[in-house]
Chain A
Amino acid sequence: MIDYSKVLSGTVVDTPKSGIRKFFDLMNTMQDVVGLTVGEPDFQTPWHIREAGIESLERGKTYYTANAGLSALREEINTYLTRKFNISYDPAKEIIVTVGGSEAIDIAFRAVIEAGDEVIVPTPSFVCYAPLVRMAGGVPVILETKFEDRFKIDPEALKAAITPRTKMLVLPYPNNPTGAIMTREELSEIAKILENTNILVLSDEIYAEMTYTGTHCSIASLEGMWERTIVASGFSKAYAMTGWRLGYLCAPAPLCEQMLKIHQYGIMSSPTTSQFAAIEALKNGDTDIQMMVEEYNRRRRYIYNGLRSIGIEAFEPEGAFYIFPKIGVYGMSGEEFCNRLLYEYKCAIVPGNAFGQGGDGFARISYAYSIKHITQALERIEAFVKTL
């Protein structure tokens, strides 16, 4: 008999399952649950984008593309980034089309981390960073952000987290799950700390289009930061294209050259159909984004006001499509709150501790749902809170 415990990698075995996933499994055992848990748009990919994918299939474009992706797509990515965020990259050498933003994050870590290298990971944040750092042989150094700071990175705390082994800072803004953003002024404080070091920034800008109080600022657009920043982004959130699995990363050529090797041997090239659809998205998708963002913005105000009128404290989210209310004030842990809400009132929200240190006592509520659905969920939350 084979002993699996002897063959499996200890690092992987010791990596916990995603807390979001755990909660989803729990929720799935119940009926008539009104959930505000999902992390993807409720819109379908706009039809003209889907059609571009279909057309590419009809015309038999079913081959591999260049490892870095279709050159037409890389050109469009550069045009888009220049137009929207004032950052530009050489499509031939500085852009890689990846399988979702997740692959972009993974290969960025793997290209730079050597055993024992430290990567500063602000939390609460999306669940993938620390596990991927560990699996690349690195050591995640958690930088807890705080409600009082509107979940932004505190420059002093960042300074304190830096050691001689620090290789990289993850910059997850606009932030899932907190809805926090960082403005140009706040980013320039971070830039000042990093400018004379050898520390890279991995800026996860997947929610860049979902900002409500101003336009997203990429740290790569700040003086001196382009050369040390890897921008990871994708099509999932902006164009409601989660299932197409398409993202990209942009970085100076010496970094891209190495990251491309990992992508080349591990993936070969990203899905061709998705790449053709993505070209259409970048060329003609601006009004779709605007329509969706306007709708998210309405829901954002609706849910923020709804929670406040119930008496739940939350800071007004400025980006992504989540709100991160403080629920740890009812004499129970965030997880207990969410469990009781689920079992007693059939309403699902994700406990904040699923998103790492600093998340306990909070919960992530997604507003990628219709107003009607949100209203139903708020009613259940209110009914529950009234009993406490």
Chain B
Amino acid sequence: MKTQLLKLLEHNATLTPEQLAVALDVDADSVRAAIAELEQSGTILGYKTIIDWEKTDREAVSAMIDVKLTPQRDRGFDRVAERIYNYPEVKSVYLMSGGYDLSVLIEGKTMKEVAFFVSQKLATIDGVISTATHFVLHKYKDTGVLYDAPEIDERGTFS
């Protein structure tokens, strides 16, 4: 039941326990209990809204930065990763296999602001060997959601 519950919430966090209960064929109290448990165990980390900021007048740019690091004795990349993810402008940090070590997604108001962050803050951290910054030009799809072309129901009643 928990995997099914998580799948439903992952897709739509606004479903009420009552609605979830019907979907899962259990009662609402067990849904509430399961959610509480999943939140407590840190399986559910939060609930957010997917927003296409391009449709608003808020200025924002984001960039993916490939970061190469020197690993530190005993702590590997963890210490440097921590120094990076503590910045609020950093939205995601992934440890990667392949040609570089960390993939960092950052968001700023302008390209200048992002460039400043990379050159003044990120690149100067001890252990960072190099950075390569790729600005995001357009989001087509994010976290499984399409950004363009709102879905219109074109079906007719024929059958």
Which A residues are within 8 Å of any B CB, using their own CB? 18, 20-21, 23-24, 27, 35, 37-40, 42, 126-127, 176, 242, 294, 298-299, 301-302, 305-306, 348, 350, 371-372, 375
Contacts and interface: CB of A to CB of B under 8 A. Distances in A.
Contacts of B23: 298-299, 301-302, 371
Given A42-B153, A348-B157, A371-B23, 6 more contacts: A24-B157, A39-B157, A40-B158, A40-B159, A242-B159, A371-B15
B157 A37 contact: yes
Contacts of B19: 302, 371, 375
Point out which of A35, A294, A371 has the most chain B C-beta atoms below 10 A from its C-beta: A371
A130 B126 CA distance: 80
B15 A27 contact: no
B157 A35 contact: yes
A39 B158 contact: yes
B73 interface: no
B158 A20 contact: yes
Interface string B13-28: 0010001001111000
B13 to A, nearest CB: 13
B42 interface: no
22 contacts: A18-B158, A20-B157, A20-B159, A21-B157, A24-B157, A35-B157, A38-B155, A40-B159, A42-B155, A127-B159, A242-B159, A294-B4, A298-B23, A299-B23, A301-B23, A301-B25, A302-B19, A302-B22, A305-B22, A306-B22, A372-B12, A375-B19
Given A301-B25, A302-B23, A27 B153 contact: no
Contacts of A299: 23
A27 B157 CA distance: 9
B156 interface: yes
Contacts of A305: 22
A72 B12 CA distance: 40
A299 B24 CA distance: 10
Nearest to A39: B159
Nearest to B159: A39
Nearest to B24: A298
B154 to A, nearest CB: 10
A367 B155 CA distance: 13
A176 B158 CA distance: 13
Nearest to B16: A375
Nearest to A354: B157
A301 B156 contact: no
A20 B158 CA distance: 6
Contacts of B155: 38, 40, 42
B23 to A, nearest CB: 4
A18 B157 CA distance: 11
A377 to B, nearest CB: 13
B100 to A, nearest CB: 30
A301 B22 contact: yes
Nearest to B25: A301
Interface in B125-159: 153, 155-159
B22 A350 contact: no
Contact of B157 (A38, A294, A302): A38
Contacts of B24: 298
Contacts of A126: 159
A242 B156 CA distance: 12
Given A302-B19, A371-B19, A23 B25 contact: no
Nearest to A302: B22
A171 to B, nearest CB: 18
Point out which of B24, B153, B155 has the most chain A C-beta atoms below 10 A from its C-beta: B155
Contacts of A176: 159
Contacts of B12: 371-372
B21 to A, nearest CB: 9
Nearest to A372: B12
Nearest to A301: B22
Contacts of A23: 157
Contacts of A39: 157-159
Contacts of A35: 157
A141 B158 CA distance: 24
B25 A38 contact: no
B22 A21 contact: no
A223 to B, nearest CB: 33
A127 B156 CA distance: 16
A182 to B, nearest CB: 21
A20 B157 CA distance: 7
A35 B25 CA distance: 25
B22 A24 contact: no
Contacts of A127: 159
A24 B15 contact: no
Please name the 7 residue pairs, one residue from A and one from B, whose CB atoms are nearest each other, closest first: A24-B157, A298-B23, A39-B159, A37-B157, A38-B155, A302-B22, A305-B22
A350 B153 contact: no
B8 to A, nearest CB: 8
A176 B24 CA distance: 24
